[in-house]
Amino acid sequence: MLVRAVLLAAVVAGVVVGPSAVAQEVAYRGPSSSRIVLDLGRRQIRVLREGQTLGPWPVAIGDPSTPTPTGDFEILTKKVNPVYVSHKSGQRRELSGASSPIGDRYLAFHRNGRGEFGIHGTPWPHWVQIRAAVSLGCVRMLNTHVRQLFDAVDVGTTLEIRS
């Protein structure tokens, strides 16, 4: 896959995912024969590719006050080791890797006035295992599962999010 350094920062549900020497963005490779289906009711995600299904994998989704958007989207970018920037303590703090709040894989699928929405890992597997509605709209997966999803799809892959 073609890879280039992340150049622009994006807001992820109130948190900035910014440039870093370790973050990499996967460039567009052309039309995909794969499709991602996220079922919010079952809180699971799967990939349909050439008559085969990968998954389903459990997910945590947006809290009812900050829901995961529904509709048809496409994967806009894929990032390896995205940088999570927090200002919670009053100081700028950058985290990346599997133990960061967004894990070591990030797939952006939608941007609006609330920020950027993505499918990403988490250091808190409990929320995914119980299929909680706790995020600011992003889709959280177990780190091992999001790596499988990341490797199975390209930028431009269709994402269907259904209630």
Concatenated DSSP letters of 136-154? SS-EE--HHHHHHHHHH--
pTM of the full predicted structure? 0.81
Residue 16 clears pLDDT 70, i.e. is over it: no
When pLDDT is averaged across residues 21-31 and rounded to a whole number, the result is: 52
* CATH number of residue 111's parent domain: 2.40.440.10
Per-residue pLDDT for 3 more than 90?
no
Tally of structural domains, the chain: 1
Q: Residue 133: is it exposed, middle or buried by C-beta count within 10 angstroms (0-12/13-18/19+)? A: middle
Per-residue pLDDT reduced to its tens digit, 106-127: 999 999 988 899 999 999 999 9
pLDDT above 90 as % of the chain: 70
Confidence of residue 144 (pLDDT cuts 50, 70, 90): very high
Residue-number span of the structural domain to which 9 is assigned: 3-162
Answer for the pair 18, 83: CB distance below 8 angstroms, yes or no: yes
